[in-house]
C-alpha cells in the first residue's frame, strides 16, 4: 500500500461581548477590539449588512456607525450599507446572497477586512455564509439584535441559507471573528419576537441545566413583562451553555448527534409547512412540547416533569401546538421531517429526548404511533392562537 497522509488542527477563538449602546462615542468596546486585531500595514475595510427591520426602528444607526469610526484612519467603513429584508425571507431568496457577494466584490473586501452583520438570526446566517464562501473566507462579525440570535444562533459556528425548500441546505461551519450583543436592540422587539427567543433558552436548560430551568420557572412573570435584567441574565447564561457545547467533541457536527437541536426535527418542518409564517422560536416551542410529551409517553420522562415543561412554555406565551402539527398517518407531512432531519445530519437518525429536566438521551428511532398520541395530547393543553406582531 502506497499513500501519503496529512493531518492538522486549527485553533478557533472568538469572544462574545455583552454591552449596551455599542456605537455610542463613549463605548470603546468595538473600536478596541478592532485595534487589538488590526493587520499591520493595511487599512482594514468594513462592510456593514443591516437587517431592514433594525434600521427601521433605529433610523440613526447608519449615521452612528459612520460617526463612531470617523476618526480611525486605519479602518475604512464602506459608505454603502447593504440592507437586507429580515426574517426567513433573507435565507429563502438567492438575490440577497448575490447582493452581499456583489458588494464584497465591488468594494474590494479582502480576507483582512470584515463583513459585519447587524440583525436577527436569519440575516446573520445569510451574511456568515456569504462571507465564508467569498475569497474562501472573509472575517465576519455578528451583532445580533433579537433574543433568539443573542442567546443561541448568533453565538454559534453555523451559517446557511435555505435551498430547494429545505432549511439550511446550503451552509458552512465558519466561526465569527467576534460577537457583540447589544441589549439596546431588544427594547424595540415586538412581544412576539421577545417571547419566541425564550424557547431556545428553555431548550438548552432542558437538556443541560436543571438549575437554569428552575430559574426560568421562577422568572417567568418577569420575562413575560419584559424585565430587562432578567432577559440579560437569560441571554448570557444561554449563550454560555451554547458555547460550552460548541467546545465539545464535535463542534462541526461530523457525526450524527445534534443535542442542541432538541425539538428541532418537527420545528424545521413546521416552518417550511407554514411558508415560514411561524417564527423559528415558535416552531421550536412546539417541537419542544411534542418531544417532551413523546418522552413521557415512551416512559422516559415523568408526567410531573412533562406538565412543568408545558406549563412553562404556555406561561411565557409560547405555542405548544399548531393546525399544521398533525400526524394522522405515516405519510403525513410532519413525519416526513424525521427523514429530512436524518438527511441533514447524515448517517442514522439521532433524536434527543428527555430523561428528566436537565438531562437528555439520544435515540435512533421514533414510533409514529406515539408521535400521533403526543400531537393529540397537546391539543388539550391550549388552543393555538395566531399571534399578532
- The predicted pLDDT at position 345 comes to 67
Q: Tell me if 2 is assigned to some domain.
A: no
Same domain, 158 and 198: no
Q: Which residues contact 32 (CB under 8 A, 6 or more apart)?
A: none
Same domain, 316 and 181: no
Same domain, 213 and 351: yes
Please identify which residue in the block is written with the cell numbers 459585519.
116
Q: Which residues contact 3 (CB under 8 A, 6 or more apart)?
A: none
- The tally of domains found in the chain comes to 2
Dist. CA 247–CA 282, nearest whole Å = 27
- The predicted pLDDT at position 385 comes to 45
- The predicted pLDDT at position 183 comes to 97
For residue 235, the domain's CATH number is 1.20.1090.10
Q: Which tens digits make up the pLDDT trace of 80-108?
A: 999 999 999 999 999 999 999 999 999 99
Using the 3D structure, point to which of 138, 161, 188 is the last residue of a domain: 188
Same domain, 209 and 311: yes
Buried b (16+ CB within 10 A) or exposed e, 282-312: bbbbbbbbbbbbbbbbeebbeeebbebbbeb
Q: Record the pTM.
A: 0.91
Q: Which tens digits make up the pLDDT trace of 29-54?
A: 999 999 898 877 778 899 999 999 99
Residue 221 confidence (pLDDT) above 60: yes
Q: Tell me if 6 is assigned to some domain.
A: no
Dist. CA 209–CA 242, nearest whole Å = 11
Dist. CA 49–CA 83, nearest whole Å = 6
Per-residue pLDDT band for 389 (boundaries 50, 70, 90) equals very low
For residue 54, the domain's CATH number is 3.40.50.1970
Please identify which residue in the block is written with the cell numbers 462571507.
131
Burial label for 349, CB within 10 Å (0-12, 13-18, 19+), is: middle
Dist. CA 270–CA 196, nearest whole Å = 15
Q: Tell me if 199 is assigned to some domain.
A: yes
Give DSSP secondary structure letters for 65-76: HHHHHTT-TTEE
Using the 3D structure, point to which of 136, 159, 188 is the last residue of a domain: 188
Dist. CA 124–CA 156, nearest whole Å = 11
Per-residue pLDDT band for 342 (boundaries 50, 70, 90) equals confident
Q: Which tens digits make up the pLDDT trace of 251-260?
A: 776 655 566 7
Dist. CA 117–CA 203, nearest whole Å = 25
Averaged pLDDT, 235-246: 91
Whole-angstrom CA distances from 199 to 163, 239, 347, 389 are 25, 13, 28, 17
Using the 3D structure, point to which of 188, 219, 251 is the last residue of a domain: 188
Residue 100: give the domain boundaries: 15-188
Amino acid at each position: 500500500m502506497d499513500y501519503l497522509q496529512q493531518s492538522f488542527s486549527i485553533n478557533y477563538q472568538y469572544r462574545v461581548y455583552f454591552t449596551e449602546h455599542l456605537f455610542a462615542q463613549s463605548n470603546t468596546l468595538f473600536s478596541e477590539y478592532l485595534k487589538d486585531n488590526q493587520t499591520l500595514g493595511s487599512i482594514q475595510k468594513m462592510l456593514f449588512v443591516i437587517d431592514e427591520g433594525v434600521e427601521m426602528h433605529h433610523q440613526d444607526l447608519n449615521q452612528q456607525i459612520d460617526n463612531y469610526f470617523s476618526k480611525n484612519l486605519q479602518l475604512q467603513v464602506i459608505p454603502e450599507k447593504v440592507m437586507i429584508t429580515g426574517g426567513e425571507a433573507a435565507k429563502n431568496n438567492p438575490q440577497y446572497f448575490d447582493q452581499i457577494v456583489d458588494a464584497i466584490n465591488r468594494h474590494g473586501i479582502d480576507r483582512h477586512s470584515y463583513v459585519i452583520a447587524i440583525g436577527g438570526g436569519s440575516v446573520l446566517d445569510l451574511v456568515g455564509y456569504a462571507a465564508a464562501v467569498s475569497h474562501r473566507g472573509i472575517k465576519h462579525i455578528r451583532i445580533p439584535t433579537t433574543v433568539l440570535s443573542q442567546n443561541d444562533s448568533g453565538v454559534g459556528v453555523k451559517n446557511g441559507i435555505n435551498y430547494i425548500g429545505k432549511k439550511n441546505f446550503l451552509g458552512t461551519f465558519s466561526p465569527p471573528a467576534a460577537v457583540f450583543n447589544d441589549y439596546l436592540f431588544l427594547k424595540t422587539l415586538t412581544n412576539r419576537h421577545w417571547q419566541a427567543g425564550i424557547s431556545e433558552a428553555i431548550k438548552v436548560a432542558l437538556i443541560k441545566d436543571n438549575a437554569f430551568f428552575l430559574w426560568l420557572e421562577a422568572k417567568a412573570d418577569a420575562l413575560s413583562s419584559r424585565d430587562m435584567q432578567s432577559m440579560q441574565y437569560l441571554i448570557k447564561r444561554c449563550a454560555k451553555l451554547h458555547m460550552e457545547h460548541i467546545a465539545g467533541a464535535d463542534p462541526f457536527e461530523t457525526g450524527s448527534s445534534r443535542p442542541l437541536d432538541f425539538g428541532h426535527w418537527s420545528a424545521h418542518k413546521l416552518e417550511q409547512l407554514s411558508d415560514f409564517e411561524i417564527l423559528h422560536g415558535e416552531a421550536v416551542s412546539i417541537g419542544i412540547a411534542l418531544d417532551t410529551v413523546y418522552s413521557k409517553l415512551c416512559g422516559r420522562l415523568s408526567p410531573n416533569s412533562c406538565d412543568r415543561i408545558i406549563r412553562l412554555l404556555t406561561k411565557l406565551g409560547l405555542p405548544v401546538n399548531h393546525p399544521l402539527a398533525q400526524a394522522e398517518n405515516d405519510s403525513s407531512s410532519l413525519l416526513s421531517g424525521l427523514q429530512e432531519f436524518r438527511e441533514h445530519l447524515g448517517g442514522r437518525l439521532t433524536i434527543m429526548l428527555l430523561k428528566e429536566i436537565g438531562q437528555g438521551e439520544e435515540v435512533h428511532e421514533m414510533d409514529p404511533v406515539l408521535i400521533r398520541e403526543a400531537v393529540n395530547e397537546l391539543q388539550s393543553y391550549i388552543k393555538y392562537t395566531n399571534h399578532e406582531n
